[in-house]
Structure 1
C-alpha cells in the first residue's frame, strides 16, 4: 500500500480536496496504473476504488448487482457508529441517493414531476429575474468581489429556496447548515454546534434541519402552496404518508444538493473561463453555446466527488475478485477527466460536444435536479456576460475541504461593467 499523496488512501482525506492539482494527479495515476485500487485509510472501513469512466458507468447501469443504500458515501467509522445508534443505519440520512429498488422508485416519484423540464419551464422567468438580481448585486459591489462566496453560493440558494418555499430571511441559516453537513472537516465551513463532541457535528446539523423542516411541514399541511415543501409535506409512498425520517432526508437533499453543487458549478465555470480566456470570448461571442457551456462547467468542476456501491455477489474488476459486501468508491470526478473519453480533459471547452460526463450520475440515481441546475447556470451567464466588459483574477482561489461534495470556497475577482 502506497503511503504518499498519490495513494488511494488520500481519497478519504478532506484536505486532499483542498488542493485540486493533487486530486487530479491522484486520479490520473489511478486511472493509468491502478484502475481498481484498495484503500485502507485510518478511521474508515476499507473500500475499493474505481476511477475509469467505463467502469463507473457499468456499475451504475447494474443496480441489481450493486446496492446504493448499504454504504452510500464515505463516512468515518465513529460517525457511522453514531448514525447506527440513532437511526439504525450507518448512512444516517435516507435521501434518494441512499435508496434502492422499489423504495427508491416510489420516493423519486414524489417530486419527479416537479423537477421535469416541462414543470420547471414555468419558473424560467422567475429564475431569470433572480439571476438579474445577483448580477445587479455584483455590479453594485464596485468592481471587485469574491465571486464564489459573494455570488455563486447565494444565487442558486435563492432559486432553490424560492422553489422549496423557504423565506428569504432564512437563507443564511440554511446555507450554514448545508456547509456543516457537506464540509464538516473544513475549519471555516464545518463548525460544529457549540459544545458538541468530536464526530457529532453531522448529527447536530440533522437535528437542526429536522427542527426547521418540521415547522415548514406543519405549515404546508395547513396551508398548501405551489412549492416543493407542499409536495413533500403531503407526499405519499405506496398510498401512505412518507415516513418522517425519509421526509426529512428529502428536504435535506433538495435544500442542500439543490444549491451546493450548482454553486460549485457556477463558481468553477467562472474559474475555468478565467483560466481559458479564449473560451470566455467564444462564449461571449455566441450565447447560443450556453447549453453546452453549462454541461461543461458541471463536468469540469464535478462537485460530487464520489458515491459508494456494494456488490450483492462477488464481482471481478481488472483481474481481482471483490467479495459480496465489500464496498466500491465510484470516483465520478475522475471519470469526468478520463483521457479515454474526453479530448483535453483538463481544458474547459464551452462547445464540447458530445459531452458524456458522469457528474450528474447515470442509471436509476441520475440527478433529479439536472434540468434545474442547467437552467440556473444558463440564466446566470446569459445575464452576466453581455453586461460584463472585463473580469480577471484578483487573488488565488481556495477550495472546500470535503471528500464528498466540494468546489470553490473563494474566487476573488476584479471587473468592469
Structure 2
C-alpha cells in the first residue's frame, strides 16, 4: 500500500495517525513519498504541514520570501547568533551582512581553499591507510571542514572535540529539532555562549597581532580591482577570514560591530561542518553504488580534470541530497501554481516543506531524472537551496566538497566493506557512520 493510500484509509478526524504516515515517509523514505506526491498530489496540505514537490512550485515558494519566510528559525538562531541574515527576510541584516560576508569570501580564494581541502583530506587518508579503511563521517568528512574552519576561516577552536560538539548541538537545534525539544535547544544555546566567549578572546588576539592601521573597508574591496600581476593572479586579501574582518575598519554608517563579527564566525562553523560532512558522505556512497560511473569519475580525477570530475560529484548528490526539503512559514494566504490544474491556496500560518530533493526529480524540468547524467544544466540543481536564502558560501563548498571526494576516490581500491559493515548508518536522515576500505 502506498503512502497516500495509507493516508487516505485513515479517518480524517484521526489527525495523529495521518500525520505519522507522512512523517514516516519524510524521514525514512522521502524518495518514494515525494514520487507519489509529484504524480498525484504535488501540493499536499496535511493537518500539520504542506508538502511542495514540483520544481517550479518549490522555486516559487523559495523566491517569495514576503509570503514564505524563515521566521521559524528565529527563536533557535537568535540566542546563538543574535539577529542575523539566516533568520531574516528582506531586512537590513539580510542585505548588509550578506554583502559584507561575500566581500571577505572572494572568488579569488577558491584555488587556495581547494588546495587546502585536498591537503587536509590527504593527511587524514594517509593516517588511516595503515588500517586499510577510514570512517568517513567523523575522520574525513567532518575533519576537513573543521580544519578549514581554523585554517581558512580563522576559527580553530580550543580542540577538535569541542568543535565537533559546538557544530552538532547548534545544527541539531536549528535545523533538526522540529519538535522543539527544550533539551536540544538548551545545548545549542550553551554552545553559542561558549563560542562567543572563546571568539571574544580570539578577536583580541587577531587585532593585537595586526601592527598596521586597520584596513579601511573600501580600501579592502579596492584590492580586488587591481590589475592582474605578471603570473595572471589577482592579489589575495591577507590572512584568514577572521583576521580580515577583525582588522577592517567599517565606516560609521555601516554598523558591523565586534558582536556581528563574532556572530558570523559562529555562522561559519554552524553552516560549514555538519552539512559538508553529510554531502561528502552521501556522494561517496552514491558513486560507489555505481561501478561504471565510479570508474568514469575516477578517470577524471586521475586526469586532474576538475571541471568534469565535479559534475559527477553534484549529479551523485542529486540522488541523496543534503536535505529532502527546506522549511518555510506561510505569512499570508497564498495561491501556489496559480493558473495551473494544481493551483492550491496555502493558508496563512502553514508550515511549508519545499522539497528541493523532489524538485530535482521533476521530469517536466529535469530530463530523464532517474538516470545519472553529468550533462545537466546547473539550474537543474538546488543543492544550495534557491532564492534569497541560497547559501552565501556555496562557492567555498563548491570546491571543498568535490576535492575531498576526489582525494578519497584516488585511493587505490576504494570500496564498500562487505555486508552491513559497509552501509551508511543514519540518525534520521543524517549520516552517523560510514566505513570504506582502500588498499594500503
Same fold (TM over 0.5): yes
Q: Does 1:294 align with 2:321?
A: no
User: What corresponds to 2:267 in structure 1?
Assistant: 253
Q: Going by fraction, where is helix more abundant, 1 or 2?
A: 2
The answer on whether the counterparts of 1:276 and 1:348 sit within 8 Å (CA) in structure 2 is no
User: What corresponds to 1:52 in structure 2?
Assistant: 54
Q: Does 1:410 align with 2:429?
A: no
Aligned partner (choices 193, 200, 219) of residue 205 of structure 2:
219
1:147-194 deviation per Cα after TM superposition (whole angstroms, max 9, x unaligned): 22322221222123311213376232111121122235999xxxx9xx
Superposed counterparts of 1:49-128, under 5 Å:
49-63=51-65, 65-72=66-73, 94-101=83-90, 102-128=92-118
Question: 1:272: how far off?
Answer: 0.4
Question: 1:5: how far off?
Answer: 11
Q: Does 1:265 align with 2:279?
A: yes
Whole-Å Cα distance in 1 between the matches of residues 300 and 185 of structure 2? 49
Closer, same or farther in 2 for the Cα pair 1:156/1:199, shift >3 Å?
A: closer
The answer on whether the counterparts of 1:138 and 1:151 sit within 8 Å (CA) in structure 2 is no
1:365-390 deviation per Cα after TM superposition (whole angstroms, max 9, x unaligned): 22111121121123224333334234
User: What corresponds to 1:77 in structure 2?
Assistant: none
User: What corresponds to 2:406 in structure 1?
Assistant: 382
Whole-Å Cα distance in 2 between the matches of residues 71 and 319 of structure 1? 25
Closer, same or farther in 2 for the Cα pair 1:107/1:7, shift >3 Å?
A: farther
User: What corresponds to 2:161 in structure 1?
Assistant: 172
Question: 1:279: how far off?
Answer: 0.9
Tell me the number of residue pairs that the alignment of Structure 1 and Structure 2 aligns: 381
1:100-125 deviation per Cα after TM superposition (whole angstroms, max 9, x unaligned): 22430101112102333223334443
Q: Does 1:24 align with 2:48?
A: no
**Normalising to structure 2: TM-score of the pair?**
0.74
SS of the equivalent of 1:416 reads coil
- RMSD of aligned Cα (Å): 3.6
Q: Does 1:240 align with 2:241?
A: no
User: What corresponds to 1:155 in structure 2?
Assistant: 144
**Normalising to structure 1: TM-score of the pair?**
0.78
Q: Which residues of structure 2 form unaligned runs of 5+?
A: 1-6, 211-237, 337-341
Q: Which residues of structure 1 form unaligned runs of 5+?
A: 41-45, 74-79
Between structure 1 and structure 2, the one with the greater Rg is 2
Whole-Å Cα distance in 2 between the matches of residues 178 and 279 of structure 1? 33
1:235-274 deviation per Cα after TM superposition (whole angstroms, max 9, x unaligned): 7595223373x54542232112212222112111110012
Closer, same or farther in 2 for the Cα pair 1:384/1:70, shift >3 Å?
A: closer
SS of the equivalent of 1:294 reads helix
